[in-house]
Amino acid sequence: MTRRNPRKYIFSRNIDNFFIDVNDAYKFLIRFFKEFSKRPFHHQELIRQSYEIGLKSLPLITLTGFIVGIVFTKQSRPSLESFGATSWLPSLMGIATVRALGPLVTALISAGKVGSGIGAELGSMRVTEQIDAMEVSAINPFKYLVVTRVIATTISIFVLSLYYSFVGLIGAYINIDGTEGISVISFLQDAFSSIGFLDISTSITKSIIYGFTIGIVGAYKGYNATQGTRGVGRAANQAVVLSIFLIFIEELIIVQIANFIRYF
């Protein structure tokens, strides 16, 4: 009788668990789109979640966007000065903020704050059997808890991304004005002179996809949490890690598609 290699067994089990998780995530995603189009629509819960996710994130987004705008300008100036091209700073900041920094930084911050919050909240409700109690009381917990949070996250990240770009440009303007004395109108004209429709549409697409990713991943991990309070912490942690990983993958794919369209 041959003994089973424990390493091969563990590896095989991990592979099986991976494909099981992928299948469960696919079913969860399909169920979301099915429930999304059904009545009733929980408008009050959607508004409440938008407030919790969006409005309460404004201070953090404001501080981050303002600081990044100043720091990025300071770091870029020496390189442009060596070529005598400091006049390109507004255009550089406009391109960097609208194309990349706005959607990406907002999504990364929200993945840590919002994604973990959704995962922990739904995970806590799952392990304390509150979700089961909602099913018994003839309330669709998936519709009420998952759909509203995913929609609220998608909308909120989109708005926060636009707000981040605005605040980042304010920080950049303050730094440039303090050293070179440029007017607001001239700064905005230079900043948006190199930004086209493709850049704006790509930025909007990114923010919507990132918001949906953060919401659906956090909801999936929390809604399927197990093993009590330990599972709640694991769900929150996995929601953050997986969201950030998927955001970087989506960033790479979207940038490649945008560049292909730009140079086609």
Query: Residue 4: is its pLDDT beyond 90?
Result: no
Q: How confident is the model at residue 3, as a pLDDT?
A: 54
Q: How confident is the model at residue 194, as a pLDDT?
A: 81
Structure tokens at 214: 């953060």
* Gap between the Cα atoms of 254 and 237, Å rounded: 26
Query: Residue 215: is its pLDDT beyond 90?
Result: yes
Report pLDDT digits (tens) over 180-205: 778 888 888 888 888 888 889 999 99
Report pLDDT digits (tens) over 118-169: 999 999 888 888 888 887 877 888 898 999 999 999 999 999 999 999 999 9
* Gap between the Cα atoms of 95 and 88, Å rounded: 11
Q: Where in the chain are the domains?
A: 39-262
* Gap between the Cα atoms of 136 and 55, Å rounded: 33
Q: How confident is the model at residue 228, as a pLDDT?
A: 75
Q: How confident is the model at residue 248, as a pLDDT?
A: 94
* pTM beyond cutoff 0.95: no
Structure tokens at 142: 């998936």
Name 122's Cβ contacts closer than 8 Å, sequence gap at least 6: 131, 145, 146, 149, 218, 219, 221, 222, 223, 225, 235
In this structure, of 11-25, 65-79, 105-119, 239-253, the range with the lowest mean pLDDT score is 11-25
Q: How confident is the model at residue 205, as a pLDDT?
A: 93
